Amino acid sequence: MIAEHLISEFIIPLRTSDTGEDALATMNDFYVRHLPIVNDKQLLGLISEDDILDHDVKEAVGSYQLSVARPFVKNDDHVYEILRLISEYHLTLIPVVDKEENYAGLVTMEDLLQYFARSASFSESGSIIVLEMNKQDYYLSQMANIVESESAVILSSFITSSRDSTRLDVTLKVNVQNIQPIIAAFNRFDYEVKASFSESDYLDALRDRYDALMLYLNV
C-alpha cells in the first residue's frame, strides 16, 4: 500500500489567508491537531494546534511561525514510511506530495488505523505469541519453521525494541486458535515466550487501544 491510495477526500488544506480560528474549526470538525498550509499547489508547511494557540487566532496563518518542520510523504511512499514520519513528528496527519513536491492530499492517523484493521493480518482469525530474545538471536525463518512444524503459519510479525537494549520483543500472529503446541515447540528450542493471547483477548485489547486513541484524538 502506498500513500496515494490512502489520501483523505474530506479534509481541505489551509490557505495562507485563513485565520487561526478557521484552522481550529477545521481541526475540531475532523478530530485532528495538524493541518497543511498550501499556497496554490505549493506545500508551505504543517501547522499544529499549539502553533495557533501561541498566536493571535484572528490573524492569518500565513503570518505564523510554525513549530513543526515540513514533513511530507510522496505519492509512491510505502505505508511504513508514513507510519515512521507520523511517529517521529507525533502527527495526527501528514501531507502527500507528487514528484514535483506539489500538494496532492493528506493521510490521517485514522486512515492508517482503518487500513491496518482491514488487512488480512488483522481480519483473519488466529492467535498472538510474543517472544523475547537477544537481537542477535532474531531469525524469522527459524521461528516460521517452528510454527509450520505444528501445522500453522505466521500471518504477520513485528518487532519492538529499544535503542539502549540488546533485547527485543517479537510479536507473531498465527492462524490457529490452539497455540499450546506452538508454545511448547518454542520452549523446546529455548525461546522465551513472554505472552500469548487468544483471538478474543487480542481483539478486546486492540479495541480498547483503538478507543483510547480515538478519545485522545478527540481531545
Give the CATH number of the domain where residue 180 resides: 3.30.70.260
Per-residue model confidence (pLDDT) at position 122: 64
Instruction: From 116, 131, 155, give the residue that closes a domain.
Output: 116
Specify if 218 maps to a domain: no
Q: What is the 3-state secondary structure (H, E, C) of 136-174?
A: HHCCHHHHHHHHHHCCCCEEEEEEEECCCCCEEEEEEEE
Q: How many CA atoms lie within 13 A of 98 on its CB side?
A: 6
Task: Verify that 67 and 169 share a domain, yes or no.
Answer: no
Per-residue model confidence (pLDDT) at position 163: 78
pLDDT tens digits, 111-130 = 888 887 777 566 677 899 99
Per-residue model confidence (pLDDT) at position 24: 96
Task: Verify that 106 and 190 share a domain, yes or no.
Answer: no
Per-residue model confidence (pLDDT) at position 67: 83
Indicate the DSSP class of residue 105.
Answer: E
Per-residue model confidence (pLDDT) at position 200: 58
Specify if 77 maps to a domain: yes
Region of poorest pLDDT, from 110-114, 154-158, 189-193, 196-200? 196-200
pLDDT tens digits, 61-114 = 999 988 877 899 999 999 889 999 999 999 999 999 999 889 999 999 988 888
Per-residue model confidence (pLDDT) at position 113: 84
Give mean pLDDT, residues 126-145. 94
Task: Verify that 78 and 160 share a domain, yes or no.
Answer: no
Per-residue model confidence (pLDDT) at position 36: 95
Q: Is 85 exposed, middle or buried (0-12, 13-18, 19+ CB in 10 A)?
A: middle
Per-residue model confidence (pLDDT) at position 78: 93
Per-residue model confidence (pLDDT) at position 120: 58
Specify if 74 maps to a domain: yes
Region of poorest pLDDT, from 3-17, 113-127, 150-164? 113-127
Task: Verify that 95 and 148 share a domain, yes or no.
Answer: no
Instruction: From 64, 94, 116, give the residue that closes a domain.
Output: 116
Per-residue model confidence (pLDDT) at position 173: 92
Specify if 219 maps to a domain: no
For 75, the domain range is: 3-116
Specify if 216 maps to a domain: no
Residue-averaged pLDDT of the chain: 89
Task: Verify that 21 and 87 share a domain, yes or no.
Answer: yes
Domain of 81: which CATH number?
3.10.580.10
Structural domains in the chain (count):
2
- The yes-or-no verdict on residue 198 having pLDDT over 90 is no
Kind and range of the H or E run holding 46 = strand 42-48
